[in-house]
Amino acid sequence: MTESHTAIQLIDEAKEFNPAVLDYFRQCISGRDVGLDYHVISVFGSQSSGKSTLLNALFGTQFDTMNAKNKRQQTTKGIWLGHTREVTVANQGKDAIDDLFVLDVEGSDGAERGEDQDFERKAALFAIAVSEILIVNMWEQQVGLYQGNNMALLKTVFEVNLSLFGHRNDHKVLLLFVIRDHVGVTPLDSLRDTLETELQDIWSQLTKPEGCENRCLYDFFDLKFTALGHKVLQPDVFAENLGALGSHFSEKPNSKASYFKSEYHHNLPLDGWTMYAGNCWNQIETNRDLDLPTQQVLVAKFKTEEIAHQALVQFQESYPRQLFGANQRQMLIDTLQSLKSQCLGDYDSFASRYARSVFLETRSGLTKSIEAEFQKTIANHLTAVQEALIANFEKELTAKPKTKSFIEHLTATQSVSSEEFRAYLSELIKLEMVPSLNDEESSFFTSLEQACTLQSQKYLKQTVIRSGKNITTGLKEGVVYLLMHPEKDLWDRVMERFEFVISQSLSRFDVGDGLFDFQTGLSDENNKKVYQQIRSKAWRSLHEIVHENLSDDNIVSTLRERFENKFRFDENDSPRLWKNEEEINTAYRVAKEHAFEVLDVLSLAASSDHVEIIPDVPIKFNDGIDDELDGDGMGEYEDENGIYHQKSFAHILTASQREKVIQKFKREANIAVIEAKRSIIKTTTHIPLYIYALLAVLGWNEFLMIVRNPLFVTLLLIIGVSFYVIHKLNLWRPVMALTNSAVGETKALVKEKLTSWLDGPDLVTPSQSRPEAQSKNSFEEFELQDLNKKPSSGSAKPQ
């Protein structure tokens, strides 16, 4: 199986670079990763000097050769490229070698181009720019003939080499002189001396660029000489010499016998060679300065980017599209790390052969692309982590320890969550999967801050609601009683209670000097606002309690109660027994006055020194609706007739309501008076007059008998004096009470005696046998108690 391919024309007669060369390369390397393990050599020499014949014999290439039997004319036009992986060695054997690309350059003195030396110079420049070894092919008889075209060619080679590598110390080219048709009369050493002398002469005559004046030929070139016998006359010698020559190509590169040295190599991976060669030719052809380092960097840049792109495409194809949840951190890390190392590994294995600086620069670009991809995935993962942490933060916060205030607990929990997230981030950063997670960090802290604010607001709201409820309960307990039993200083007491309830409910937030701290980290000003909000709610509760309990009907019944307490009971809280109308009228006036004493107090909330009570903060009547008002902060309300009224804390009764209350009260008071007056008529009219007449007629004899009897007269006198004394000393009431009590006791005693007499001494007690009797007694007792209670309920009123 042959290891060489048909040659292709790399640069044609019209000086055009063949774009098909890339396909030719692909064909030659058939998918193998050649890297830097390849070589490029060029062959120069006069036209028809047997160059193609030599290459074909040595490397098995298939360059066209001239058929001398027909016509001596130029065969190779432009620059041809051949490929081989074998070389002819001793005894016509073949040795395998690294991929070798051979440039067969158009003969230098061809009649076809005439005096056009331009192509020759360009071809030399191109060959030196891409080759490691320049084979100079010449007939033995050409040696020593300075005017020969080979020497002119070598001058050109020297010049262009200086222009390319004059300022570099790291590159050399091997000039391999192959002397053809060496019949052996002049020994090779002699020929070599002659050639070297000639080369030195040429070198010394060169116009060297600045900085290269003192540099010698050997700074830039290594020289090797070999000779081949006459191909036609000495075929065996030719074959032997050819094998010897070939063995230098088959030796291990950099070994002593090998022609290949690393300093000759252009250190450009084969996959970039085509582009490099094309660029170089383009520069040469357009007569621009051929700057090899720049060209190499350009190629390296292009190729590394191409490799990076391929690696990235591969990376994206196998990139996971799933979302990694908060508890899938390890899976995320393992997946991403494996993808990254796979992608960079792909890149490194192909791109690391190019210029290191370029390789690293492109690698860093590739890393950035990988990280940009990771950033999105990690950001999504971190969003899930963030949500989980914040949910946990809120959960922790609800389990509030009793030893800490809310703000202390909040701050501690917040810092635990922050630390946890920071540790999470720094671990990811350490893994070098993303350069920075600053955005994610700040997003987390913003969310955490929002969650803190929300929780603080929630806690504050709860505090406000709870305090509001406590205050409302406290107010109801104290204020309702005060309103139901009003006194002249009612509002002083109500306000006292109001302040007391508020301060008691907010005692744990009280920090002295009238300031409050609601333990949510609010500023003094905001704490003050919250306090005012609570106060506003307290005012609203008070407003509602006052206005609900001081309705028209309630006020009327309060007045009536006050009136009746005064009207029906005397100073000793005993029920009054009316003797005459005069007494009723007097009691009515007094009781009415007593009732009306509190009407003003119940109509308008004002302190005892007549200052109307105005809430010190605006009152909101509807939560969520900002209806703060000017003035005393009252809202509007709609009455049953659809008329809007201004809500005012102090104004309880309007003038018309007050008038209504008075009228209603008067009606009820009048009923009480009428009842009282009826009770007098009943006592005075229940004995008809004819009874008195009948008494006088029927009892006349008895009357005279008494008058005539001194004992009765004395008795009458005693009784009369007693009545007089009792009347004078106004002792009727105690006497009546005593009498009643005595009668009652006697009646009870008699009943008891009768019962025991009827039932017999051995029977059960009356209370057991006659529940109805007990019930009656209890009822009487209850009535008595109730009677006694009435004045006492009056006395329970605040004095």
Ligand X SMILES: Nc1nc2c(ncn2[C@@H]2O[C@H](COP(=O)(O)OP(=O)(O)OP(=O)(O)O)[C@@H](O)[C@H]2O)c(=O)[nH]1
- Which residues fall in the annotated binding site for GTP? 45-52
Stretch that binds ligand X, among 227-235, 268-276, 620-628, 740-748 (CB under 6 A): 227-235
The reply to whether 61 sits near ligand X by the rule CB under 6 A is no
| 74 vs 554, beta carbon nearer ligand X | 74
Cα three-residue angle 752-758-761, rounded to 5 degrees: 80
Write the DSSP string, 668-694.
HHHHHHHHHHHHHHHHHHSS-HHHHHH
Query: 103: part of which helix (H) or strand (E)?
Result: strand 93-105
Q: Which structure tokens are listed for 443?
A: 């997003």
Out of 74, 342, 607, 777, name the contact with ligand X by CB under 6 A.
74
| 230 vs 422, beta carbon nearer ligand X | 230
Q: Is the distance from CB of 121 to CB of 160 less than 8 angstroms?
A: yes
| 231 vs 562, beta carbon nearer ligand X | 231
| 101 vs 424, beta carbon nearer ligand X | 101
Identify the three-state secondary structure at position 16.
Answer: coil
The reply to whether 76 sits near ligand X by the rule CB under 6 A is yes
Stretch that binds ligand X, among 41-49, 119-127, 344-352, 749-757 (CB under 6 A): 41-49
Q: What is the DSSP letter of 264?
A: G
| 135 vs 534, beta carbon nearer ligand X | 135
| 233 vs 704, beta carbon nearer ligand X | 233
Out of 121, 224, 230, 261, name the contact with ligand X by CB under 6 A.
230
The reply to whether 50 sits near ligand X by the rule CB under 6 A is yes
Residue where the block lists tokens 């006198």: 717
Binding string, 326-365, against ligand X, x = CB under 6 A?
A: ----------------------------------------
Q: How many angstroms separate the CA atoms of 437 and 724, rounded? A: 113
CB of 138 to ligand X, least distance (A): 11
CB of 230 to ligand X, least distance (A): 6
Q: Is the distance from CB of 241 to CB of 229 less than 8 angstroms?
A: yes
The reply to whether 574 sits near ligand X by the rule CB under 6 A is no
The reply to whether 467 sits near ligand X by the rule CB under 6 A is no
User: Which residues, in sequence order, are bridge partners of residue 174?
Assistant: 133, 222
| 239 vs 653, beta carbon nearer ligand X | 239
CB of 45 to ligand X, least distance (A): 6
The reply to whether 250 sits near ligand X by the rule CB under 6 A is no
Out of 4, 18, 47, 226, name the contact with ligand X by CB under 6 A.
47
CB of 291 to ligand X, least distance (A): 31
User: Which residues, in sequence order, are bridge partners of residue 646?
Assistant: 636
CB of 169 to ligand X, least distance (A): 34
CB of 277 to ligand X, least distance (A): 21
Cα three-residue angle 523-529-530, rounded to 5 degrees: 90
CB of 75 to ligand X, least distance (A): 4
The reply to whether 49 sits near ligand X by the rule CB under 6 A is yes
CA distance between the termini of the chain: 132
The reply to whether 142 sits near ligand X by the rule CB under 6 A is no
The reply to whether 107 sits near ligand X by the rule CB under 6 A is yes
| 107 vs 791, beta carbon nearer ligand X | 107
Task: Determine phi and psi for 555, rounding to 5 degrees.
Answer: -65, -40
The reply to whether 40 sits near ligand X by the rule CB under 6 A is no
Instruction: Pick out the residues of the known binding site.
Output: 45-52
Stretch that binds ligand X, among 65-73, 83-91, 609-617, 741-749 (CB under 6 A): 65-73
Please give the torsion angle defined by the CA atoms of residues 530, 535, 538 and 540, in that order, rounded to the nearest 10 degrees. Answer: -100
Exposure class string for 217-235: b at 16+ Cβ within 10 A, else e:
beebbeebbbbbbebeebe
Q: How many helices (H) and strands (E) does the chain have?
A: 25, 11
Out of 180, 266, 537, 592, name the contact with ligand X by CB under 6 A.
180
The reply to whether 51 sits near ligand X by the rule CB under 6 A is yes
Residue 310: name the closest of 257, 350, 251 by CA.
350
CB of 251 to ligand X, least distance (A): 24
Rg (CA), the chain: 65
The reply to whether 65 sits near ligand X by the rule CB under 6 A is yes
Q: Is the distance from CB of 619 to CB of 637 less than 8 angstroms?
A: no
Q: How many angstroms separate the CA atoms of 670 and 589, rounded? A: 11
Q: How many angstroms separate the CA atoms of 407 and 414, rounded? A: 10
User: Which residues, in sequence order, are bridge partners of residue 5?
Assistant: 83
Q: Which structure tokens are listed for 727?
A: 């009347």
The reply to whether 48 sits near ligand X by the rule CB under 6 A is yes
Q: Which residues bind ligand X (CB under 6 A)?
A: 45, 47-53, 65-66, 68, 74-76, 107, 180-181, 230-232
